[in-house]
Amino acid sequence: MSTEAAIPARCDPRGQRALRLAIGTALCLAISFGLELPIPMVAPVLAVFLFATFNRPLSFKAGLGLTLVVMFTTGSGLMLIPLLRHYPFSGVLMISVGLFLAFRYGLRGGNNLLSTFLVVGLTMISAAGTADFGLAVMVIGALVKGLLVAVWVLTVCHWLFPEPAGTHVPPAATVLPHNEASRMALRAALVVLPAFLLALSDPAGYLPIIMKSVSLGRQSCTAAARGAARELLGSTLLGGALAIVFWCALSLFVNLWMFFLWMLLFGLLAARKLYRLSPTRHPPSFWLNTLVTLIILLGQSVQDSAAGKDVYTAFAVRMALFLAVTLYACLMLQLLDSPRRAPPQPRALKSP
């Protein structure tokens, strides 16, 4: 996505892109909760990734192909369920290698969305299947339904807010060298793996933690170790703070229409900063992770409230786990990006 500031006003696409992202996310949120889709937070999270990745609407063929790809990539986790149940060490080892290969595929010029769904299939689906095979199938269904909603909303939003004429196609992402891509894929896999191991103890309760760790894994592929703590931890804390403000505002008038309007407002605030309409010192990935964190925390709190759970205690526990996962991600970035010590230089001999 383009975030340049020096673009002629009549050709500047950032305003339309910010509107599409905010309205598309709010629409997906309202549709998924209104239709009571399984795991309703999936659709708006996928919408954020789709709107930030594609600046053109997907054709029917492309949308159908993407949906089929999601079914096959996420379904890969089903094949690992028997291995995790009967040979857990070998299963975890295979998933670790799979995470590394999936992240490296994206860093070496592959489709980032495909890489993300491979990671989701290896973690969320296989973890859910260790508790109940039906739960794993339900998660796959939730991902497919959420993606269909997000693709449809993407088409509608592009019809409402098309790209300005003369907009240049953004350049392709830079392909990293083999060694650099392998190093970054390794640290991304190490970021996701602990959340996956935690989810094996209670898959239904820890699925949001896996979603958060996948988002952190994606973000760790672009974040430098020098600013990792500020970017990763800052975006997580800001997402949690915005979720609290959102919840307090929503409690004034609890209905689906206000849910949509508040999401639209918060989405516009984040989108303006993501597309540099309101420049900040933080990169776009910071605001992307902030918005994703807000949606995950808020969606889970709404579901806790509907189920009659203690929302505030559950939010505090979930936020603490999010912070723990984020701190661990910062640690991995620091350890794997620490400068190598220069070899000691031989001292010059003094002449007598």
pTM score? 0.84
Amino acid letter, 59: S
- The whole domain housing 109 covers 12-163+176-336
| Cβ contact 33:302 at 8 Å | yes
pLDDT score for 174? 65
pLDDT score for 169? 60
**Cα–Cα separations (whole angstroms), residue 254 to 33, 195, 222, 296, 307:** 13, 33, 38, 19, 16
How many Å apart are CA 34 and CA 9, to the nearest integer?
Answer: 38
Residue 328 lies in a domain: yes
pLDDT in tens, the chain (352 residues): 444 444 455 567 888 889 999 999 999 999 999 998 888 888 999 999 888 888 888 777 777 888 888 888 788 788 888 888 888 888 899 999 989 988 888 888 777 778 888 888 888 888 888 888 888 888 888 888 988 899 999 999 988 888 776 666 665 566 667 788 888 888 888 888 888 888 888 877 788 888 888 888 877 776 555 566 677 888 889 999 999 999 999 988 888 899 999 999 999 999 999 988 888 888 888 899 899 999 999 988 888 888 888 888 888 988 998 888 888 888 887 777 654 444 444 444 343 3
244 Cβ contact list (under 8 Å, min separation 6): 315
How many Å apart are CA 254 and CA 99, to the nearest integer?
Answer: 40
pLDDT score for 38? 86
Residue 128 lies in a domain: yes
133 Cβ contact list (under 8 Å, min separation 6): 78, 81
**Cα–Cα separations (whole angstroms), residue 297 to 43, 136, 243, 269:** 14, 21, 7, 18
Q: Is 323 exposed, middle or buried (0-12, 13-18, 19+ CB in 10 A)?
A: middle
Residue 145 lies in a domain: yes
| Cβ contact 28:45 at 8 Å | no
pLDDT score for 263? 94
Residue 2 lies in a domain: no
Residue among 212, 54, 216, 68 nearest 140 (CA): 68
Residue 346 lies in a domain: no
Looking at the structure of the chain, the number of domains it has is: 1
| Cβ contact 223:316 at 8 Å | no
How many Å apart are CA 108 and CA 53, to the nearest integer?
Answer: 17
Residue 342 lies in a domain: no
| Cβ contact 121:76 at 8 Å | yes
How many Å apart are CA 22 and CA 160, to the nearest integer?
Answer: 13
CA dihedral 95, 234, 330, 76 (to 10 degrees): 10
pLDDT score for 246? 94
16 Cβ contact list (under 8 Å, min separation 6): 161, 162, 163, 164
Residue 233 lies in a domain: yes
Residue 248 lies in a domain: yes
pLDDT score for 11? 65
